[in-house]
Amino acid sequence: MAYSLNVNGKNYSVDVDADTPLLWALRDVIGLTGTKFGCGVAQCGACTVHLDGQAVRSCVTTVESAGTAAIMTIEAVGSTQVGNRVQQAWLEQEVVQCGYCQSGQIMSATALLNENPSPSDDDIDAVMSGNICRCGTYPRIRAAIRQIAAGPGFHRRRLR
Amino acid sequence: MRRFQEVSGVAFAACAAEALLAVTLAVGSGLADDKIQPPADGTLKGVADFQSIGEPSARSRALFTEAAKVITGPRCINCHPATRSPTQGDDRHPHRPPIQAGESGMGVAGLNCHSCHRFKNTSLPGSRVGSIPGAEHWLLAPASMAWQGLTLGEICRQLKDPARNGGRSLADIHKHMSTDHLVAWAWQPGAGRRPAPGTQEVFGALIEAWIATGAECPS
């Protein structure tokens, strides 16, 4: 069955079964391979994308349940103000080691900062502990999020 | 940092889902409390099975105790935790990944229940978990409705207390138990999960009969 998906501001028609994971539609049908397969059972966060601004695990989100939501992936998040700041902070803090999980980490961090511009350490942990990094880059992820939250003007208003 | 460290301590192989699950599901094994045990089997007696108990208050307590096989079963009690984080599985191990209910009961800003739990169960063929549970308005019960760690009597008295049950009357409680779609999920929990005992119809009838006999609570 053909489904219309709005991904990064563009409409794509994907001919897949209703229960096809959104991750497969993004990677194998549309060709956006920045979103990664990690565990396939919503345990690691590597496949995180945004649906109407909310972080979701695309490995357990079916194409049917994505519906008409605006889907954003790592390929486009840098075009948003918060996403751009997250990516810059990631570079400045040299967060990335092997990098496999980092698209999911950045999508989760952006979702967090979109909704909570000045997260406490507990707030950061509550969201980011859903994203596993086998390289153990957690302290640098935290530092990068702190850096963004402490940035000029950031904590006083929400950026999109 | 504690929660973060807990996760970082989990060995993770990026493309080895089964290995990951074997590790994560092993974490925190053992019941969260020892006051309540999940039902030993999938049976649920009907109202008629209690007609032989002549004394109404005793019959009422027996009816609630039977209905509590559902209430204290893992499909229900995992989302009525003692803390503001859900548990998982028949052994009530801590939810993986770590999740906090937040003020809404639906997660915190940036990571809510719907990040993984969609409007219906999501089948995961070939995986150890079988499926990710889901239903509309998936959320954790409010703190006032925590059941884990309580005795049957304590759960019963909490259920009847409008100050703790969301302002519900006994009729509202019956309606909730017999028709609510999240309660109904307990009998359609998706692959990899044992359904609640009996049926929602029998469960609802037990609650109705419990109320009709005075809504007495076990001690």
Q: How far is B41 from chain A (nearest CA, A)?
A: 28
Give the residue extent of every domain in chain A.
2-76, 78-150
Amino acid found at B123: S
Nearest CA in chain B to A117: B109
Query: Which B residues 34-53 touch A at CB under 8 Å?
Result: none
pTM: 0.86
A112 interaction partners in chain B (CB closer than 8 Å): 109-111
Q: Give the CATH class of A78-150.
A: mainly alpha
In the block, which residue shows the tokens 């909310």? A54
Q: What pLDDT is recorded for position B29?
A: 32
Strand partners, B122: B132
DSSP annotation of B50 reads G
Q: Give domain A2-76's CATH superfamily.
A: Beta-grasp domain (3.10.20.30)
Q: What pLDDT is recorded for position A155?
A: 56
B1 interaction partners in chain A (CB closer than 8 Å): 121, 125
Distance CA(B93)–CA(B17), nearest Å, equals: 19
**Contact criterion met (CB < 8 Å) for A100 and B14:** yes
pLDDT tens per residue across span B157-167? 999 999 999 99
Q: What pLDDT is recorded for position B193?
A: 95
**Contact criterion met (CB < 8 Å) for B111 and A108:** yes
Q: What pLDDT is recorded for position B8?
A: 37
The answer to whether the beta carbons of residues A61 and A73 sit under 8 Å apart is no
Q: Measured in Å, how far apart are chain A's first and last C-alpha atoms?
A: 34
Name the maximum alpha-carbon separation found in chain B: 61
Amino acid found at B161: D
Asked if the domains A2-76 and A78-150 are classified in one and the same CATH topology, the answer is: no
- Rounded to 10 degrees, what is the CA torsion of A24, B136, B81, B127? -30
In the block, which residue shows the tokens 């979702």? A111
**Contact criterion met (CB < 8 Å) for B119 and A19:** no
A78 in B contact zone (CB under 8 Å):
no
Token digits of residue A110: 């952006």
State the CB neighbour count (10 A cutoff) for residue A4: 10
**Contact criterion met (CB < 8 Å) for A127 and B108:** yes
